[in-house]
Structure 1
Amino acid sequence: MESEKTVYSYFSDVMLLEHLKKGDRLAFIEIFERYWKKVYNESYKRIKNPKLAESITESVFVNLWEERENGKIDKLLPYLLASLRSYILQLYIEGKTERHFESGLSHLMLISMPTGIN
């Protein structure tokens, strides 16, 4: 069932960000509705764990709400994806997940390495 459209659904990202910075919860809800699938999918692509991807997605949006007034957010989607990458990198560093998205590229490194044979 699709949610009802609000006036916020017609706002540009710039307008939503302006309202978010003022603490407008309805603007935050619209941002969440607009971008949660993208953030979740990007997270899942990298860690292949649905529960962990959901948890990371929630953390990204909690972070957005907490950082709304600091002036660091210029564009919504790039900010959300940068925040996501930061959370996932921290999980890699802590050894709490594997780097699934890199495993498919290892063969390319072997193919493109110079052999030193002419």
Structure 2
Amino acid sequence: MQRYDKYTDSQLAGLLKKGDRDAFTAIYERFFGVLYIHAFNRLKNKDEAKDAIQDLFIRLWNKRDSVDFTNLSNYLYTAVRNAVMNVISHKAVESKYISALPQSIVIADCITDHRLRERQLSEIISKEIELLPPKMREVFQLSRFHNLSHKEIAEQLGISEQSVRSHVKNALKILRVRLGLVLYLVLLISR
């Protein structure tokens, strides 16, 4: 992944068109922050801004071979502007629909929906953790699920504390990239 940091936007766009997943990840890491701020400034809602950006990147990956990336940053800013407009118009329709429903139905639906999403999310996180390399997975699980300190994990596994730190850091980085898109898909599918 290191070598992608040095590529220009045009080079990354070219690699993305060829289906290069690492180039996509590099584009995601390069642009997510600024696009999120741009979306948040318009929507004033963290979750909606994140959802809009995640949706943008899902569409970017799905349409990578048919999109003209003459200027990647312009394409992404235009796409996020359109995504924000879609969120705003969707909220207006949703608000109109919800205000027409009896309040008890809306509350019951929200609780059921929340429990379903929570269960789906838990299953997805577990599956993604299982896909981590064995040693990284073991260190991550001891750290996060058994609440062991880095020192305790190092002693238990006979490795250095620095190795433990590296495993945890790398696991979080992998999960952040994988789950960022996956979580959005779960939310999108369950709507």
Task: Give the shorter-chain TM-score range.
Answer: 0.7 to 0.9
Return the structure number with greater helix share: 2
Deviation at 1:96, TM superposition (A): 6.3
Aligned-partner Cα distance in 2 for 1:71–1:85: 17
Divergent runs of 4+, >6 A: none
Q: How does 1:1-118 map to 2 (within 5 A)?
A: 6-94=2-90, 95=92
Larger radius of gyration: 2
What is the TM-score of this pair, normalised by structure 2?
0.46
Deviations along 1:46-74, one digit per CA (max 9) or x if unpaired, are: 00000111111101111111111004222
Aligned residue pairs total 93
Measured after TM superposition, the shift of residue 32 of structure 1 is 0.6
SS of 1:80's partner is helix
The alignment's C-alpha RMSD in Å is 1.6
Distance 1:28 1:96 in 2: 33
Distance in 1 between residues matched to 2:44 and 2:67, nearest whole Å: 33
5+ residue gaps in structure 1?
98-118
Which protein, 1 or 2, shows the higher relative CO under an 8 Å CA cutoff with sep ≥ 6? 1
CA distance in 1, matches of 2:68, 2:2: 27
